[in-house]
């Protein structure tokens, strides 16, 4: 099968492209390089274009049977400050992509959704029937697109899997690709940068949460485990399986302090840190119940927090020196 990977020059898409290719699929990457990097697409055909550009998309879609849609803007805080940018790139342009898919006869579509669609859930671990009540425009934009997929399935028969990632982290074991958001807002690369002396002290946002050590708990899932779930979702749709929305997480939560301790263990270096106040809208704990992905896709996250930090550290040491890892003033997805 040939698959169009939108956003394949970015962090998660570049991993999915590799895992798809290793599974024997033909991959075309479609990316406007707004936050992605051409060097991450080495070994793939890169079609440079915007997902809102129907003229550029149609010939690309004629060459594939399925689409994996990763392209989006992903900074939660920025989405609050500039919702227009987010509704344009995460809703308006993806609708143009979806319409082009229907017109090109694409019947399988895998979408990068997020646990941000749940907002601040009443209970943890989070199951898929938890109400979708996003608390920022980024989460709303992802929920909107999930709903569009549901409507397009009913009306036009487009078959989809919406995969709700928890905290993507780690890097491909080959060392070919890894995380390089600019600016960076994710805990692990910022902790590695601080440990390496290449970034400011790690800011820890709040130590007074109702958690065992007072810091926020998140479910960190290795990016290649995520990528493998995409391949399984595609196989599921290909085999006639029902459309679905599934959480992708490990089911285990780690606090900020536990992650920092793991970074210190793997790197053998101290993480300089600074305790600051809570960030508005940060729930104390977000942990997936991944049972549905296990039952419907036969998927499990196989890699541990130690694997995540080890591969991220390997990437950190190998990545091009000109890629900075400067902290973002806003939080990421």
Ligand X SMILES: NC(=O)c1ccc[n+]([C@@H]2O[C@H](COP(=O)([O-])OP(=O)(O)OC[C@H]3O[C@@H](n4cnc5c(N)ncnc54)[C@H](O)[C@@H]3O)[C@@H](O)[C@H]2O)c1
Question: Within 10 Å of residue 166's Cβ, how many Cβ atoms?
Answer: 25
Nearer to ligand X, 21 or 269 (CB): 21
Least distance (Å) from ligand X to the CB of residue 67?
12
24: left (phi over 0), alpha (psi -120 to 50) or beta: left
Binds ligand X (CB under 6 A): choice among 1, 33, 80, 104: 33
Binds ligand X (CB under 6 A): choice among 2, 22, 34, 274: 34
What does the per-residue mask of binding to ligand X show for 261-300, with x meaning CB under 6 A? ----------------------------------------
The candidate with the shortest Cα–Cα distance to 249, out of 119, 127, 143, 109, is 127
**Residue 178 sits in the site that holds ligand X (CB under 6 A):** no
Cα distance between residue 102 and residue 284, in whole Å? 40
- Interface positions, 158-177, toward ligand X (CB under 6 A): 165, 167-168
Binds ligand X (CB under 6 A): choice among 36, 139, 249, 253: 36
Nearer to ligand X, 188 or 262 (CB): 188
Least distance (Å) from ligand X to the CB of residue 141?
9
Nearer to ligand X, 275 or 285 (CB): 285
> How far does Cα 260 stand from its chain's mean position?
21
195, two tokens? 């440990």
Q: Among all chains, which residue has been given the structure tokens 């806003």?
A: 330
What does the per-residue mask of binding to ligand X show for 90-119, with x meaning CB under 6 A? ---x------------------x-x-----
**Residue 216 sits in the site that holds ligand X (CB under 6 A):** no
What does the per-residue mask of binding to ligand X show for 43-82, with x meaning CB under 6 A? -------xxx-----------------xxx-x--------
**Residue 89 sits in the site that holds ligand X (CB under 6 A):** yes
Least distance (Å) from ligand X to the CB of residue 111?
8
Helix (H) / strand (E) containing 121? none
- β-sheet with 217-218: strand ranges across: 254-255, 217-218, 285-286
Could you write out the DSSP letters of every residue in 125-151? SBPTTS----SSHHHHHHHHHHHHHHH
In terms of residues, how long is the chain? 333
What is the Cβ-side half-sphere exposure of residue 172, based on CA atoms within 13 angstroms? 22
Q: Is the peptide bond before 221 cis (omega within 30 degrees of 0)?
A: no
Catalytic residue chosen out of the listed positions 11, 138, 165, 254: 138
Nearer to ligand X, 165 or 299 (CB): 165
60, two tokens? 């690309």
Nearer to ligand X, 71 or 262 (CB): 71
Q: CB of 6 within 8 A of CB of 51?
A: yes
Angle between helices 223-238 and 11-22 (to 10 degrees): 60
Binds ligand X (CB under 6 A): choice among 3, 20, 27, 31: 31
**How many angstroms separate the Cα of 78 from the Cα of each of 10, 21, 34, 135, 139?**
18, 33, 15, 13, 12
How many residues interact with ligand X (rule CB under 6 A)? 29
Q: Among all chains, which residue has been given the structure tokens 């479609």?
A: 30
Nearer to ligand X, 175 or 272 (CB): 175
Cα distance between residue 50 and residue 32, in whole Å? 5
| Residue 138 is a catalytic residue | yes
Least distance (Å) from ligand X to the CB of residue 268?
26
Q: Which residues bind ligand X (CB under 6 A)?
A: 6-7, 9-13, 31-36, 50-52, 70-72, 74, 89, 93, 112, 114, 165, 167-168, 181, 333
Residues marked as catalytic: 138
């Amino acid at each position: 099968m040939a698959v169009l990977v939108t956003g394949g020059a970015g962090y998660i898409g570049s991993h999915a492209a590799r895992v798809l290719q290793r599974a024997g699929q033909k991959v075309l990457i479609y990316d406007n390089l707004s936050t992605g990097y051409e060097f991450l697409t080495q070994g793939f055909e890169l079609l440079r274009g915007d997902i809102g550009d129907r003229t550029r998309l149609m010939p690309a879609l004629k060459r594939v049977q399925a689409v994996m849609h990763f392209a989006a803007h992903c900074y939660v805080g920025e989405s609050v400050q500039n919702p227009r940018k987010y509704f344009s790139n995460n809703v308006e342009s993806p609708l143009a992509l979806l319409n082009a898919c229907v017109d090109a006869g694409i019947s399988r579509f895998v979408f990068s959704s997020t646990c941000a669609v749940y907002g601040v859930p009443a209970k943890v671990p989070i199951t898929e029937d938890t109400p979708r009540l996003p608390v920022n425009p980024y989460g709303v934009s992802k929920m909107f697109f999930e709903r569009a997929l549901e409507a397009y399935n009913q009306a036009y028969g487009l078959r989809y899997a919406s995969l709700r990632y928890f905290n993507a982290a780690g890097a491909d074991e080959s060392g070919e690709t890894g995380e390089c958001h600019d600016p960076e807002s994710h805990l692990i690369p910022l902790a590695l940068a601080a440990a390496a002396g290449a970034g400011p002290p790690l800011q820890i946002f709040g130590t007074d949460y109702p958690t065992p050590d007072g810091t926020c708990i998140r479910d960190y899932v290795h990016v290649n485990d995520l990528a493998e779930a995409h391949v399984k979702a595609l196989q599921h749709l290909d085999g006639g399986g029902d459309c679905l929305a599934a959480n992708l997480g490990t089911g285990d939560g780690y606090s900020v302090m536990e992650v920092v301790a793991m970074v210190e263990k793997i790197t053998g270096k101290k993480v300089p840190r600074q305790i600051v106040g809570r960030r508005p809208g940060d729930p104390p704990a977000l942990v997936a119940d991944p049972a549905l992905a296990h039952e419907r896709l036969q998927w499990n996250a196989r890699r541990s927090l130690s694997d995540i930090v080890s591969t991220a550290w390997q990437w950190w040491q190998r990545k091009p020196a000109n890629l900075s890892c400067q902290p973002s003033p806003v939080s990421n997805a």
